[in-house]
Chains A and B, each alone.
Chain A
């Protein structure tokens, strides 16, 4: 009787540790595969960050390579390499966050004003489509549109008598291509999120405004936008928390090993990837990665702290 009670309604320190373990052994066992998964693929590699403090060689391995202290970090800081990577990563993310959210919200608000449900459904489906494809295909689609010889846009501009800039060899204009590709791929996804938030707004408010004679612009300005403010702020803060993390697939498939573009398109992820696969400079790759992890962690903590102050319901922990 007592045992079954404990199983229904857990009260702390009622019994010993082993007793509790035994009581919950089935539920615990159900968690074991996931626990092992994160142990082996997330926790066990963590001490490997030690590589950032060594002059790594493949034979020595992670813990057999000579210790060099902060030398790798020193090089990254003094050579300006880290500053450039960080600048690119943060600026791209800022562009993605600001332009992306404006576009997503804009389309979601517009769609909400449309009465034809079929139109909303079809456009949402079409906009969501790019989210389903691999980064490899996105790279190919972009190549299809803008490559200097056969690109669709290149020929379109040419046929209208203009001159298409050679985008793949121009580090000053290529960032625009990356931003457009990102917006193309992520707008549908974000629109769904905002559209759901807008649909959650009390319909009677809208009705009341209509009865009072508010036109479409006024309803958007005084009802929809203020109601979305909370969602926008929360999404924005969490996006800031992830601002040092880049979209590797997108950048690598658009830029690849085209080193002409590196000055404005190399982000932390692509640099680390090249350190592993091309230059075999594991120490420096690891140093950049560790810097990113620690800095990113701090940013998430700050963002979560601020969100918690604003609205505890939305905080992560």
Chain B
């Protein structure tokens, strides 16, 4: 009897409403998902179009003439692009490693129930996300007091950590049984050693998630660069380099300066697109492999606040 009921429960026949909802879902979310992808395709296709075809028909998903001229221009004088790449890669790797280590260390200490200062320090960190002095005092302090204008540190340091990432890490580590720490203590290990040898290996999914958040922050960084790096810094982080190319004609010209092209014949539009493709490519290529870690991070963050 019970078995019968269960079977009929799972094999209830679809009525009209269900069919309608499903059909609608496939069409609506399918179209929305395509709309999310479309601009990327447009940029890639446009980067292979001739400047002439763009002048004639605008940006299209299938240009009338194809060429790799913009890419040739970029890589004929690769100095700027390669420099920007190296700066961004160096910042991303070192920043993610250092930031992740500090965040994990702090997160571990702050979730230890036997650490008497944990609430005070947690509040001290958390408060900065509730109240800040605003951008102007931060900017003046960085420039006038810390003397970080034109220093890569002005870009690198502020992106190391955020209160939200520390709280997220704390919540991840909280899920590890306290007995692990205790067993380490019984074996005579100190707190730091317990953290390194017992805790870190068990929280690798959390490290992946939070590390990716930090890395994404570094890769997409352009804001601090625009505030603190003036023209005396030759190699700007990648996204700020892209920003300059898109918004300043002078930067567009100088980005291919070595290739001796008359400025009138410079393919301005397709060059912007090609620069965008080169600057964003790695993120898009890595995306399918890393996105599951982001989803898990969001879910933990959303459920536990």
Contacts and interface: CB of A to CB of B under 8 A. Distances in A.
Interface of A: 4, 7-10, 12, 20, 24, 26-31, 33-35, 37-38, 40-49, 51-52, 61-62, 107, 110-111, 113-115, 119, 122-130, 132-137, 139-141, 143-145, 149-152, 154-155, 184, 187-189, 192-193, 196-197, 200, 207, 210-211, 213, 215-218, 220, 248-249, 253, 256, 269, 272-273, 275-277, 282, 285-286, 288-290, 292-293, 296-297, 300, 314, 316-317
A31 to B, nearest CB: 5
Given A10-B116, A128-B291, A134-B239, A49 B133 contact: yes
Interface string B270-301: 00110010011001100110010011001100
A301 to B, nearest CB: 8
Contacts of B10: 207
Contacts of A253: 243
Given A24-B117, A33-B106, A151-B58, 4 more contacts: A10-B116, A44-B145, A45-B137, A139-B246
Residue in A122, A196, A220 with the greatest tally of chain B CB atoms within 10 Å = A196
Contact of B305 (A134, A135, A144, A316): A316
Interface of B: 5, 8-10, 12, 15-18, 20-22, 24-26, 28-30, 32-37, 39-40, 42-43, 46, 54-55, 57-61, 102-103, 105-106, 108-110, 112-117, 121, 123-126, 128, 130-141, 144-146, 157-158, 160-161, 163, 166, 182, 185, 190-192, 195, 216, 219-223, 226-227, 239-240, 242-243, 246-247, 269, 272-273, 276, 279-280, 283-284, 287-288, 291, 294-295, 298-299, 302-303, 305
Nearest to B222: A136
Contact of A24 (B113, B115, B124): B115
B26 A114 contact: yes
24 contacts: A8-B182, A31-B109, A37-B160, A41-B138, A41-B158, A48-B137, A51-B140, A62-B145, A119-B30, A127-B32, A127-B33, A128-B291, A151-B59, A192-B295, A196-B298, A216-B20, A217-B17, A249-B222, A269-B135, A272-B134, A276-B136, A276-B139, A285-B136, A286-B137
